Amino acid sequence: MGGRVRGGFPNRALSLWGFFNVGFGAVIGSCWLLLIGDWMIEGGGPVSVVAAFLLGMVLMVPIGSVFGELSAALPFTGGPTEFVARTHGELASTVVGWAFVLGNGIVPAWDTLTLSAILTEVIGPVPGFSWLCGIKLYTVFGYSVYLIPSLVAVAVVIFVGKINMDSSLGAARIQLFLSYVQLVGMVVVLVAAIAHGSPANASPSFAQITTSPSIAGVTEASTPLGGLLAVLAVTPYFFAGFDAVSQRADEAAEGVNWNKFGKVIVLTILASAGFYIVTAYSFGTIEPWQEFVSHRAPAFTALAAASPFAYIVVLVVAVFCPIGPMNSFVGATNFVLLSMARRGQIPARIAEVDPRTGTQRNAYRIVIATAVLGPFLGTGMLELLAKVASLALSVSYLMISLSCLRMRQTEPDLPRPFRVPAGNVGVMSAALASAFCIGILVVPTSPAAIGPSEWAIVVIWSLLGIALSLVSRRRARSAEPSATGMRGA
């Protein structure tokens, strides 16, 4: 089972630019528009947000370099499970794979939820669009769920899933278009901030917000360091997406430069960090930030007051924003499930291939089915899901960093077109960065520590993974005698 796992697509045609767009589009979604006010509240101001994403970039670059080295040397579909199995065995590989399915699989559901939230809270109040909120289903966590926005979000994720099932090249073309849309949005916001805002609006550098209409509610941190850590804790989730590049490595076009492929992963992190920092600065200076976070939808309210043109452009951008990460992570999660199923870590039926398209129809169906649930959870789940995904991904990053270090010892002669800068020191820094991200989420005294609801999701998910693994192993053992009997015959 340790051999190269093919992606299952008829055409392997992703270029380096295509891989960059897969990664960048996966990282940058709608969070910068929908959650910028929450980040400022949690951090105690835009200065903390900028600093957190800058530090998050510093932590993620070594981790991205590890992914670059491993995936360039071993371009497997669903690479993380393959890397860890090669160095630490099937049990560790199963844990990492299942953690990746949780961390990556949350994203499509998260983005269907954010698309529904944008239609409800941003587009719905626009004159002529009140019909979007005409049919209320129920209220959960204090947030209302409406029928039409939920159905639109469901239709979009089904459409995205179908494109991924039909052609990886089609999915890459969509990603290219969506990346340009994101960049247009960033430029428009920056120009509006420069024209109508002032750096003085970012002061004070730290202040506690005691009441707000946002998901974050209030600033729990009491110091600038606490505010920084509160935002930093969720940056692994909001940088998640660079790993989608490595998981689709087997779709690279013939003749791709694997050294540059490894660098594409690092470039994705740097470009995404720059995007977050620019937009955080722009929104933090477009008006006094304490006034900014007092609005229900601060990014859009501030833009409407500063520049109606910018407001209209960003409204359009906002509708497209969630589709980028949705598109990338539908594919990325599918590939992890595929790899796990082919290794016998979960039921083999999940890896069943559609004879017409050559794609893994059951794995895609699972990802799409979970994403369909997103709009019905209510926007109160956004912050909770982000923390759970950050923890799952950070655990995976730690194990993969250790795998990279060990593989350098066990397979020193393995061709490595791209290598982590600074050698073993660079790899160890990736492991330490991952451990630090885990620590600020699980240490009870941390201002960003996850709570009982997040732990409940982690426990339930772990039990589900154990159950699926046991079922898979039991079926494999029951099939062995019959296979032996057939050979004997």
User: Quick one: pLDDT band at residue 475, thresholds 50, 70, 90?
Assistant: confident
Cβ neighbours around 181 below 10 Å, total: 18
- Find the angle CA(107)-CA(113)-CA(118) to the nearest 5 degrees: 120
Query: What pLDDT is stored for residue 9 in this prediction?
Result: 42
pLDDT of residue 284: 93
Is the CB of residue 260 less than 8 Å from the CB of residue 81? no
Contact partners, residue 91, CB within 8 Å, separation at least 6: none
Residue 215 has pLDDT above 80, yes or no: no
The single residue listed with the structure tokens 């209220």 is 139
Place of tokens 């590049």: 245
Q: Does 376 score more than 60 pLDDT?
A: yes
Q: According to the model, what pLDDT value does residue 81 have?
A: 87
Q: What is the pLDDT of residue 170?
A: 67
Amino acid 463: pLDDT? 95
Q: 71-97: per-residue pLDDT in tens?
A: 889 887 777 888 899 999 999 999 999
Q: Name the amino acid, one letter, at 340.
A: M
Using a 10 angstrom Cβ sphere, with 0-12 exposed, 13-18 middle and 19 or more buried, the burial of residue 157 is buried
pLDDT of residue 40: 94
Amino acid at 371: A
CA distances from 405 to 135, 347, 399, 426 (A): 55, 30, 10, 10
Question: Looking at residue 486, what is its pLDDT?
Answer: 40
Q: How confident is the model at residue 331 (pLDDT cuts 50, 70, 90)?
A: confident
Question: In angstroms, how far is CA 95 from the centroid of its own chain?
Answer: 19
Selection from 361-365, 380-384, 430-434 with the highest mean pLDDT: 430-434
Q: Would you state the pLDDT for residue 481?
A: 53
Picking from 323, 343, 304, 277, the residue whose alpha carbon sits closest to that of residue 79 is: 343
Q: What is the pLDDT averaged over residues 456-470?
A: 92
Residue 122's pLDDT is 87
Question: DSSP letter string over 63-98?
Answer: HHHHHHHHHHHS--TTHHHHHHHHHHHHHHHHHHHH
Mean of the per-residue pLDDT values for the chain? 86
Long-range pairs of 307-316 with CB within 8 A, sequence gap ≥ 24: 307/192, 307/195, 307/196, 310/188, 310/189, 310/191, 310/192, 313/184, 313/185, 313/188, 314/33, 314/185, 314/188, 314/189, 315/122, 315/123, 315/126
Ranges 11-15, 50-54, 216-220, 460-464: which has the least confidence? 11-15
Give the residue carrying structure tokens 């380096």. 16
The CA-atom distances, in angstroms, between 259 and each of 20, 79, 354 are 14, 17, 33
How far apart, in whole angstroms, are the C-alpha atoms of residue 152 and residue 257? 40
Structural contact between residues 404 and 62, judged by C-beta atoms closer than 8 angstroms: no
Sign of CA dihedral 464, 466, 470, 476: positive
208, burial (CB in 10 Å: exposed 0-12, middle 13-18, buried 19+): middle
Per-residue model confidence (pLDDT) at position 216: 60
pLDDT band at 487 (very low <50, low <70, confident <90, very high): very low
Of 242, 294, 281, residue with least CA distance to 263:
242
Q: What is the pLDDT of residues 243-253, one digit of tens each?
A: 878 777 777 77
The amino acid present at 303, given as its one-letter code, is: L
Q: Kindly tell me if the per-residue pLDDT of 1 is higher than 80.
A: no
State whether residue 267 is helix, strand or coil: helix
Confidence of residue 169 (pLDDT cuts 50, 70, 90): low
* pLDDT confidence of residue 231: 92
Q: Which of 8-22, 297-311, 455-469 has the lowest mean pLDDT?
A: 8-22
pLDDT of 266 over the 60 cut = yes
Cα–Cα distance list, 43 to 79, 230, 364 (Å): 35, 6, 37
- What average pLDDT score do residues 240-244 get? 81
Identity of the highest mean pLDDT range in 50-59, 115-124, 252-261: 50-59
The CA distance from 253 to 451, in Å, is 44
Mean per-residue pLDDT for 148-171? Answer: 85
Distance in angstroms (rounded) separating the CA atoms of residues 339 and 328: 17
**SS3 state at 223:** coil
Choose the most confident range, by mean pLDDT, from 171-185, 328-342, 425-439: 425-439
Structure tokens at 253: 């076009």
Q: Which of 48-62, 106-120, 397-411 has the lowest mean pLDDT?
A: 106-120
**Measured in Å, how far apart are the chain's first and last C-alpha atoms?**
25
Burial class (CB in 10 A: 0-12, 13-18, 19+), 451: exposed
Reduce the DSSP state of residue 127 to 3 states and report it: coil
More confident position, 214 or 276: 276
pLDDT given for residue 2 in this prediction:
37
Res. 484: pLDDT tops 70: no
Per residue in 384-440, pLDDT (tens digit) is 888 899 899 999 999 999 999 999 999 999 999 999 999 999 999 999 999 999 998
Q: Which of 8-12, 239-243, 298-302 has the lowest mean pLDDT?
A: 8-12
Angle between helices 79-117 and 46-73 (to 10 degrees): 140
CA 8 to chain CA mean position, Å:
23
Distance from CA of residue 45 to its chain's centroid? 24
